[in-house]
């Protein structure tokens, strides 16, 4: 049962157990609310019989006992649902974040930031409300109703049927709405994600929108998305209300059927007035929680969309492997590697080359040729569709990604920085590094030039994603991280693209000191950046078109020579 609940509601093991306890607590609470009805029935029985002259104390004690039981059971129910739910909500968010940390990057190519953020924040919040209000109360109502129904059947089965026939009919009406609700909820979720994407895109591209006088046109489109969310919310609420209100109306017929059936049985002397009165009391008390149960059932059905989105993350297969390294050296070898981001987007077809330790291997070629994909495959950000990649003879597809990445220092073309100090942003490369080690790496990356000009120097905060720094300054912090990590394999994806000629020369000089006895794979578009590389791999249309040294490839007069010619021509271009 625990495993089924975990799967059905995207819960942890502790959360599944807490859900069971919460359902039991809600059941006990519903049953406790029937105690006053029983006490009232006993009181009326005595009043119509011998009286209560000698039982006043007992009834007073009964009232106090009922109040105490209801109080303590309600307190237990509150703790078992609300407090446990808030704990599980935190666990669920952390679990999702941990799973996202281990999921292959191919998963993120199918998702956008707004979608994932909505899953972790909005979906978790909705489920938090569901597990504190809807699901335990629904299950508690069902169980308590079944127990009460069994009792009523023993007392008088005809009156029991008159009181209870409306319950399964009402529930069936709401259950039949499941597919309709799922479709409406999915469309509402799609509208929300589209709106969130639009808002995020608007904020991120505001400079471009202003530069092109496109704000008004973009905001009109964004306004359409916002109104679509409102429209979808109204449709979803209406779609749910149609079924819930119809079921509630059917439920109200129960009191009428009890009254009519009871009257007929009473006239025919088949029941006494007390039994008739008791069934009216029970019916009036029974239908109130059942009406809430119908609403809770509809809300529970609505959670399926949210749970499915969370399970998509939780059930996604992980990249696994050995947590120990078996490599002998640091040569990176591609053997007939092919890769496709999806079935219709083949990037690499048959790539074979060796990036040797102690050498610089440069990846060049036209845009879309697969250069960045090769570097990502080398670090096992993705696994190849076919072929094999080895590191020092070790098959990287059989090595745990986090263990493997301890061997890599990577500088991406798109730098990601945190709203913290320069010092702490560099320390990302090695969390236990001393300040002296951080400063040494910063100097190697030529960060002194801008850091020393700031008021707090290396303790200056740089804003969200380094917004207070220039592109070249942000890139140098990223390069400093690689210096600090000092791993045996270095991947540089356009690492000097944002630097001016003077700083690029300084960085290349520092890289020369860093790459001694290391495996270096460089992606670059500037031919002069990789002119001194030991080996140049030319990628075109997903295959290795050429490989060799710069002089060898120029003499071949092939793709590489053509790229050199084009860049030389562009460097001589001037304004007329």
Backbone angles phi, psi at 38, to 5 degrees: -65, -40
CA distances from 27 to 87, 147, 150, 441 (A): 22, 10, 15, 63
> Of all helices (H) and strands (E), which one includes residue 116?
helix 113-117
Query: Which residue bears the tokens 């591209």?
Result: 205
What integer pLDDT is reported at residue 28 of this predicted model?
Answer: 85
| Predicted confidence (pLDDT) at residue 111 exceeds the cutoff of 80 | no
| Predicted confidence (pLDDT) at residue 406 exceeds the cutoff of 80 | yes
Name the β-bridge partners of 495: none
Q: Encode pLDDT of 521-530 as tens digits.
A: 888 776 666 7
Q: For 166-185, what is the mean pLDDT? A: 85
pLDDT tier at 389, thresholds 50, 70, 90 = very high
pLDDT tier at 498, thresholds 50, 70, 90 = low
User: Is 352 within 8 Å of 334 (Cβ atoms)?
Assistant: yes
Per-range mean pLDDT, top range of 210-214, 366-370, 389-393, 498-502: 389-393
What integer pLDDT is reported at residue 394 of this predicted model?
Answer: 92
3-state helix, strand, coil in the chain (%, to 5): 65, 10, 25
What integer pLDDT is reported at residue 277 of this predicted model?
Answer: 80
Which range has the worst mean pLDDT, 47-51, 124-128, 248-252, 302-306? 47-51
CA distances from 149 to 36, 156, 237, 433 (A): 17, 11, 32, 68
What integer pLDDT is reported at residue 573 of this predicted model?
Answer: 57
Task: Name which of 488, 39, 112 is nearest 281 in CA terms.
Answer: 39
Q: For 239-255, what is the mean pLDDT? A: 85
Question: pLDDT higher for 225 or 14?
Answer: 225
Task: Name which of 378, 362, 371, 353 is nearest 487 in CA terms.
Answer: 378
Separation of alpha carbons 247 and 167, rounded Å: 9
Q: For 192-196, what is the mean pLDDT? A: 84
What integer pLDDT is reported at residue 63 of this predicted model?
Answer: 85
CA distances from 269 to 41, 273, 275, 276, 458 (A): 20, 9, 11, 11, 94
User: Is 395 within 8 Å of 328 (Cβ atoms)?
Assistant: no
| Predicted confidence (pLDDT) at residue 499 exceeds the cutoff of 70 | no
Q: Encode pLDDT of 434-458 as tens digits.
A: 989 989 888 888 888 888 888 888 8
Separation of alpha carbons 98 and 116, rounded Å: 13
Q: Encode pLDDT of 20-41 as tens digits.
A: 888 888 888 878 877 787 777 7
Q: For 421-428, what is the mean pLDDT? A: 89
What integer pLDDT is reported at residue 510 of this predicted model?
Answer: 65
User: Is 528 within 8 Å of 364 (Cβ atoms)?
Assistant: no
Quote the tokens at residue 323: 């947590």
Q: Encode pLDDT of 328-339 as tens digits.
A: 888 999 999 988
| Predicted confidence (pLDDT) at residue 173 exceeds the cutoff of 80 | yes
Separation of alpha carbons 539 and 560, rounded Å: 10
Which stretches of 452-539 are DSSP H helices?
Answer: 471-485, 501-514
For the domain 2-314, what is the CATH code?
1.20.1560.10
User: Is 135 within 8 Å of 25 (Cβ atoms)?
Assistant: no
What integer pLDDT is reported at residue 497 of this predicted model?
Answer: 61
Q: Encode pLDDT of 315-366 as tens digits.
A: 888 778 888 888 888 899 999 998 887 666 778 888 889 999 888 888 888 8
Q: In this structure, how many other beta carbons lie within 10 angstroms of the beta carbon of residue 236? A: 21
| Predicted confidence (pLDDT) at residue 49 exceeds the cutoff of 80 | no
| Predicted confidence (pLDDT) at residue 488 exceeds the cutoff of 60 | yes
What integer pLDDT is reported at residue 390 of this predicted model?
Answer: 92
- For the chain, the structural domain boundaries read 2-314
Question: pLDDT higher for 392 or 499?
Answer: 392
Percent of the chain having pLDDT more than 90?
3
Three-class secondary structure of residue 354 per DSSP: strand
What integer pLDDT is reported at residue 334 of this predicted model?
Answer: 92
Q: Encode pLDDT of 537-555 as tens digits.
A: 888 888 888 888 888 888 8
What integer pLDDT is reported at residue 473 of this predicted model?
Answer: 81
Separation of alpha carbons 104 and 394, rounded Å: 20
- Kindly give, in sequence order, each residue whose CB lies less than 8 Å from that of residue 210, ignoring residues fewer than 6 positions away: none
What integer pLDDT is reported at residue 576 of this predicted model?
Answer: 52
Separation of alpha carbons 364 and 360, rounded Å: 13
Separation of alpha carbons 298 and 61, rounded Å: 40
pLDDT tier at 575, thresholds 50, 70, 90 = low
Angle at 220 between CA 216 and CA 224, to 5 degrees: 170
Separation of alpha carbons 522 and 534, rounded Å: 11
Quote the tokens at residue 22: 């919460």
Q: What is the mean pLDDT of the chain?
A: 81
What integer pLDDT is reported at residue 109 of this predicted model?
Answer: 65
For residue 242, the number of C-alpha atoms closer than 13 Å in the C-beta half-sphere is: 11
The DSSP letter of residue 291 is H
pLDDT tier at 569, thresholds 50, 70, 90 = low
| Predicted confidence (pLDDT) at residue 51 exceeds the cutoff of 80 | no
- Kindly give, in sequence order, each residue whose CB lies less than 8 Å from that of residue 492, ignoring residues fewer than 6 positions away: 411, 482, 511, 520, 521, 522, 523, 524
What integer pLDDT is reported at residue 445 of this predicted model?
Answer: 81
Through-space distance between the first and last CA atoms of the chain, rounded to whole angstroms: 78
């Amino acid at each position: 049962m625990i495993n089924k609940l975990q799967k059905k509601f995207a819960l942890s093991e502790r959360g599944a157990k807490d859900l069971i306890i919460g359902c039991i607590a809600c059941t006990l609470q519903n049953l406790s609310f029937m105690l006053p009805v029983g006490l009232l029935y006993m009181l009326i029985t005595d009043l119509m019989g011998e009286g209560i002259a000698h039982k006043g104390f007992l009834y007073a004690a009964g009232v106090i006992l009922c109040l105490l039981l209801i109080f303590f059971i309600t307190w237990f129910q509150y703790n078992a649902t609300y407090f446990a739910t808030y704990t599980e909500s935190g666990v669920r968010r952390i679990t999702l974040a941990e799973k996202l940390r281990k999921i292959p990057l191919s998963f993120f190519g199918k998702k956008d930031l707004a979608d994932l953020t909505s899953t972790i924040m909005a979906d978790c919040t909705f489920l938090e409300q569901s597990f504190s209000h809807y699901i335990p109360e629904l299950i508690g109502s069902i169980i308590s109703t079944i127990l009460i129904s069994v009792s009523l059947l023993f007392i008088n089965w005809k009156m029991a049927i008159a009181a209870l026939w409306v319950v399964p009919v009402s529930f069936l009406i709401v259950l039949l709405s499941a597919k309709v609700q799922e479709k409406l909820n999915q469309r509402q979720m799609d509208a929300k994600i589209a709106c969130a994407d639009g808002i995020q895109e608007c904020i991120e591209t505001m400079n471009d929108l202003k530069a092109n006088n496109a704000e008004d046109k973009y905001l009109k489109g964004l306004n359409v998305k916002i109104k679509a969310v409102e429209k979808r919310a109204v449709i979803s609420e209406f779609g749910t209300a149609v079924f819930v209100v119809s079921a509630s109306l059917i439920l109200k017929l129960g009191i009428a059927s009890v009254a009519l059936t009871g009257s007929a049985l009473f006239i025919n002397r088949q029941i006494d007035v007390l039994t008739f009165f008791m069934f009216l009391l029970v019916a009036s008390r029974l239908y109130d929680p059942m009406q809430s149960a119908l609403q809770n059932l509809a809300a529970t059905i609505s959670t399926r969309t949210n749970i499915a989105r969370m399970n998509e993350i939780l059930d996604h297969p992980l990249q696994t492997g050995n947590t120990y390294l078996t490599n002998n050296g640091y040569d990176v070898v591609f053997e007939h590697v092919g890769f496709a981001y999806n079935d219709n987007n083949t990037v690499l077809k048959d790539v074979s080359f060796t990036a040797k330790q102690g050498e610089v291997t440069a990846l060049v070629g036209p845009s879309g040729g697969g250069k960045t994909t090769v570097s990502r495959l080398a670090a096992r950000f993705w696994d190849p569709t076919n072929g094999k990649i080895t590191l020092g003879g070790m098959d990287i597809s059989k090595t745990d990604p986090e263990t493997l990445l301890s061997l890599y220092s990577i500088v991406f073309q798109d730098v990601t920085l945190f709203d913290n100090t320069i010092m702490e942003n560099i320390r990302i490369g090695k969390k236990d590094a001393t300040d002296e080690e951080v400063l040494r790496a910063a100097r190697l990356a030529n960060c002194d030039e801008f850091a020393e000009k700031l008021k707090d120097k290396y303790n200056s905060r740089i804003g969200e994603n380094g917004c207070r720094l220039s592109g070249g300054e942000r890139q140098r912090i990223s390069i400093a991280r690689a210096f600090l990590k000092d791993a045996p394999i270095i991947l540089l994806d356009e690492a000097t693209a944002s630097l001016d000629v003077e700083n690029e020369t300084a960085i290349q000089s520092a890289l020369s000191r860093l790459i001694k006895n290391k495996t270096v794979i460089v992606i670059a578009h500037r031919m002069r950046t990789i002119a001194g590389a030991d080996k140049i791999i030319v990628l075109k249309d997903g295959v290795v078109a050429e490989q060799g040294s710069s002089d060898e490839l120029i003499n071949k007069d092939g793709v590489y020579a053509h790229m050199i010619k084009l860049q030389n021509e562009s460097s001589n271009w001037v304004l007329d």
